[in-house]
Amino acid sequence: MTLGERLAATVALCALLALILSVVACESRDTKEASAGAQPFSTFAIGPQPGPDRGLPRAENPYANDKTVLADGRRLFNWYNCSGCHGDHAGGGMGPSLRDSLWRYGGDAPSIFASINEGRQFGMPAWGTKIPRDQIWRVVTYIQSLRTPDEPDPPR
Amino acid sequence: MTGTEMTEMKRSNDERRWSRAATGVVLVATILAGCGKSQTTQERSADTTAEARAALAASHRDSVTTSLAPAPGVGQVGLIPAGSDLGQKPGEWTMAARDYAASRFSPLNDINVSNVAQLKVASTFSTGVLHGHEGQPLVVGSTMYVVTPWPDLLYAIDLTKPGGALKWMFGPNADPRSVGIACCDVVNRGATFADGKVIYNTLDDHTIAVDANSGKATWNTKVGEIAIGETMTMAPLVVGNKVFVGNSGAELGVRGWLAALDLGSGKILWKAYSTGSDSDVKIGADFKPFYASDRGKDLGLHTWTGEQWKLGGGSVWGWLSYDPELKLLYYATANPGVWNPDMRPGDNKWSMTIFARDPETGNAKWAYQITPHDAWDYDGVNENILIDQPMNGQMRKILFHADRNGFAYTLDRATGEVLSAAPFVITNWAKGIDLKTGRPIEDPAKRTHEGIVVRDICPSSTGGKDQQPAAFSPRTGLVYIPAHNVCMNYEGVEANYIAGTPYVGASVKMYPGPGGYRGELLAWDPVHQRKVCSVLEDMPLWSGVLATGGDLVFYGTMDGWFKAIDARTCTEKWKMKVASGIVGAPIAYRGPDGKEYIAIYAGIGGWMGAVADPNVSLDDPYTALGVAGAVPDLKQKSAEAGILYVFTL
């Protein structure tokens, strides 16, 4: 490496560092100020949404009202050991029942998706780290069918 | 040397040791002479061989008479092995089962058959925690120590203050994620006391020694890992300068272990695994199992297929006991990993096994696999009660074990030989235990398989009894067993191992057994393996039992009745309805005011008690690993609570 090349490399490195620093600085300023109207990070809300309803986009279940995925949702519910915690037919055990009408973190499809995806406080794993989104939606669809006439393989 | 010769040699050694050491044999003579009224275990005089021999002979005569014409409520007189209570005062309760023998016998007799009708509440204390309050408080000197279910709080209560006053509270900040890792509610079965420290485990796998005076942690050792499904619920036992603890999680594919920690520093000294190579299991040259099928190299590997032993369960979540004379530590291991037996052909050693270990080195001295190749979740962890009792004219060092599989076993605790075994509840999966091989004589129709629903298996996975500990009274020679009468349908299903999540592999539906009762408190003669008397109960019994020098037996029901019965006749003498179902174990102690007290937790929960949890639904009988079908009425009969009740006259 010649002297000129070394100089060029040093200059390039400095420029890169400066760029990184400025980006970091900008980001920290952004998160500090969170100006009104900025696009928020989360579109899943478990807690109450602060401020007036801003009409945020909501994740939609691609299988809403699609009965053809229910059996597969049930299969996945067993295969990923959801049944081990929540019961063979989701009546509860180690984890809470999903058959009742009580939802700690919301019972609509996006909320159930979020709970599966992110995990929850008392040991619910963050399944988004393992299961493809499409499969999570199938499980969500199965869970929403519990105690309806559409429930596949109901308890007997 | 043949097995028989070895046994004979050990027997004669035992006899010599017995004659030499027999402190307390005088007690036998005393009881036989009819003057063993009270404080009996206190009165230990210098022994002579002649006295001991006379007592043995007298015991034998008594046993013959008893077997011909049994007197009501009297089995073989028996002894709690000498030195088991570590010299604690009769009014103290310093370890989970009060003594190393796991007797749960208190010599106190101020409260007795003649006056228990006047028993009333002296004080109550809210733990501030819901969920199953298994286990029992400790009483050391004038302080009571109470451990709660997760978040595993430890309270010290000053008994010198009127009604008891809080001295300190210790909170270990146990990881809330452990709640979802625990198979069967977030229970804790209590602490033990040694060297000025109160020592207990937390659900997130820490063993903590708390200074009994200051309430500050002396040491805190992480011994397991929730990320691979391990939790801890058992009560430690201290022998010498070592603390013994074990893991829970056989429903999550853990590999069971017993660990020894240094009492002074909390440092982990060794772990003895329940599966794997002989060196991992701590099996060496001095390992002498009684039965041929427990002999061979690396059985913890070769009795499994492939590497299934790594997920093989055999967790150590039950009770520990110790014989100070034989210097052997006893415990039993849990079910093999994954309940679907077709996923793990072989005997699956050393799941379902009673181990006798040298507590110093951890080396196994003998092992006996109770239920080879389990197909029912007859998890073997139930308590091993150590009793010295005459059998066939010979004083024997007995280990009594009432197993989930429905059979009561009496073993020679020096050798691991099964001396007798008989069903103590309705049992149909096996016709008996072959004493030549030690193995169950199974009904092939009741062995479960993948993809087939096998119906009407008795008992259910929750067993003839679960972990709720029995008590032994040396005054009656009887064991008091809290039993269940529940049966099941069982189907093995394919399971997918994902670390830190359930690895169950079975669909289980339980239902009440025949006869119109779901529980029974049995007064059981361990020598003749027969029921002397019993109380039939509506609900399965999930509480432990206390036997006292006042010839009373205390226990509780899942619908919240706390009861005292006559230890000799099983007649109900007193009862009271408490705030919630009882799944804990009663204790007796003497307060600083000199009065005898009885203490019990009210707090429904545990595996079967989880049905009372508002977070389970009853329209699915498979709920909570199948127990919902057994006690669908529990929600109506008991709500959650966490209350310590203390009673006195």
In a domain, A52, yes or no: no
Alpha carbon of A54: minimum distance to chain B alpha carbons (Å): 33
Do B434 and B474 reside in the same domain of the chain?
Answer: yes
* SS3 assignment, position B330: strand
pLDDT at residue A10, as a whole number: 55
pLDDT at residue A6, as a whole number: 58
What is the mean predicted confidence (pLDDT) over B411-420?
98
Alpha carbon of A114: minimum distance to chain B alpha carbons (Å): 17
Quick check: A147 and B619 CB within 8 A? yes
Q: Picking from A47-61, B177-191, B568-582, which range would have the lowest pLDDT averaged per residue?
A: A47-61
Q: Picking from A2-6, A125-129, B480-484, B628-632, which range would have the lowest pLDDT averaged per residue?
A: A2-6
- CATH number for the domain spanning A94: value is 1.10.760.10
pLDDT digits (tens, 9 = 90+) for B141-154: 999 999 999 999 99
Do B53 and B114 reside in the same domain of the chain?
Answer: no
For residue A112, the enclosing domain spans 67-145
* Count of the separate structural domains present in chain B: 2
Closest by CA to B347, choosing from B274, B239, B410, B247, is B274
pLDDT digits (tens, 9 = 90+) for B628-637: 999 999 999 9
Do B260 and B205 reside in the same domain of the chain?
Answer: yes
In a domain, B169, yes or no: no
**Residues sharing a CB contact under 8 Å with residue B604, sequence separation 6 or more, in sequence order:** B132, B558, B560, B580, B581, B582, B583, B612, B634, B638, B639, B640, B641
What is the token pair recorded at B103? Answer: 């007797």
pLDDT at residue A52, as a whole number: 80
Q: Picking from A111-115, B371-375, B403-407, B484-488, which range would have the lowest pLDDT averaged per residue?
A: A111-115
In a domain, B89, yes or no: no
Q: Is B251 on the interface with A (CB under 8 A)?
A: yes
In a domain, B83, yes or no: no
pLDDT at residue B6, as a whole number: 40
pLDDT digits (tens, 9 = 90+) for B201-214: 999 999 999 999 99
**Confidence band of A54 (pLDDT split at 50, 70, 90):** confident
Do B607 and B490 reside in the same domain of the chain?
Answer: yes
Q: Is A78 on the interface with B (CB under 8 A)?
A: yes
In a domain, A92, yes or no: yes
pLDDT at residue B47, as a whole number: 31
**Confidence band of A38 (pLDDT split at 50, 70, 90):** low
pLDDT at residue B393, as a whole number: 87
**Confidence band of A36 (pLDDT split at 50, 70, 90):** low
pLDDT at residue B597, as a whole number: 98
**Residues sharing a CB contact under 8 Å with residue B413, sequence separation 6 or more, in sequence order:** B323, B326, B328, B330, B356, B384, B386, B397, B398, B399
For residues B477, B483, B485 and B488, what is the CA-based torsion angle, rounded to 10 degrees? Answer: -130
**Confidence band of B313 (pLDDT split at 50, 70, 90):** very high
Write the ipTM.
0.84
Q: Is B183 on the interface with A (CB under 8 A)?
A: yes
Give the gyration radius of chain A's Cα atoms: 23
pLDDT digits (tens, 9 = 90+) for B240-288: 999 999 999 999 999 999 999 999 999 999 999 999 999 999 999 999 9
Query: Residue A150 pLDDT more than 70?
Result: yes
Q: Picking from A3-7, A69-73, B192-196, B518-522, which range would have the lowest pLDDT averaged per residue?
A: A3-7
What is the mean predicted confidence (pLDDT) over B393-422?
97
Do B45 and B74 reside in the same domain of the chain?
Answer: no
- CATH number for the domain spanning B158: value is 2.140.10.10
- Distance CA(B540)–CA(B459), nearest Å, equals 12
Query: Residue B16 pLDDT more than 60?
Result: no
In a domain, A121, yes or no: yes
What is the token pair recorded at B72? Answer: 């009501």
- CB-nearest partner of B502 from A94, A124, A147: A94
Sign of CA dihedral B492, B493, B497, B503: negative
Residue of chain B minimizing CA distance to A153 = B620
What is the mean predicted confidence (pLDDT) over B336-355?
97
In a domain, A17, yes or no: no
Do B280 and B195 reside in the same domain of the chain?
Answer: yes
pLDDT at residue A13, as a whole number: 54
Residue B185 a catalytic site member? no
Of B69, B90, B119, which residue is a domain's last? Answer: B69
Quick check: A84 and B501 CB within 8 A? yes
Max distance between CA atoms of chain A, in angstroms, equals: 81
Do B425 and B324 reside in the same domain of the chain?
Answer: yes
In a domain, B92, yes or no: no
pLDDT digits (tens, 9 = 90+) for B34-70: 332 322 222 233 333 333 333 433 333 333 222 223 3
What is the mean predicted confidence (pLDDT) over A45-71?
84
What is the token pair recorded at A73? Answer: 């949702």
Quick check: B622 and A122 CB within 8 A? no
pLDDT at residue B172, as a whole number: 98
For residue B21, the enclosing domain spans 1-69
Do B567 and B592 reside in the same domain of the chain?
Answer: yes
Residue B251 a catalytic site member? yes
Do B1 and B143 reside in the same domain of the chain?
Answer: no
Q: 484-503 in B: which are within 8 Å (CB) of A? A: 493, 495-496, 498, 500-503
- Distance CA(B544)–CA(A111), nearest Å, equals 42
Of B22, B52, B69, which residue is a domain's last? Answer: B69
pLDDT at residue B481, as a whole number: 98
Do B110 and B7 reside in the same domain of the chain?
Answer: no
In B334-451, which ranges are E strands?
353-357, 364-369, 385-391, 394-402, 407-412, 418-423, 430-433, 440-442
In a domain, A12, yes or no: no
| Active-site option among B247, B335, B340, B489 | B335
B385-391 β-sheet, strand order: B385-391, B394-402, B407-412, B418-423
In a domain, A107, yes or no: yes
Do B480 and B569 reside in the same domain of the chain?
Answer: yes
Tell me the average pLDDT of chain B: 90
Do B140 and B47 reside in the same domain of the chain?
Answer: no
Q: Is A93 on the interface with B (CB under 8 A)?
A: yes
**Residues sharing a CB contact under 8 Å with residue A10, sequence separation 6 or more, in sequence order:** none
What's the DSSP call for residue B224? Answer: -
In a domain, A75, yes or no: yes
In a domain, B86, yes or no: no
**Confidence band of B14 (pLDDT split at 50, 70, 90):** very low
User: Hey, how many other C-beta atoms are within 10 angstroms of the C-beta on B431?
Assistant: 12
In a domain, B84, yes or no: no
**Residues sharing a CB contact under 8 Å with residue B9, sequence separation 6 or more, in sequence order:** B1
In a domain, A78, yes or no: yes
Top residue of A77, A78, A86, A88 to mutate, by most chain B CBs within 10 Å, is A88
Residue B384 a catalytic site member? no
* Count of the separate structural domains present in chain A: 1
pLDDT at residue A7, as a whole number: 52
Quick check: A87 and B622 CB within 8 A? yes
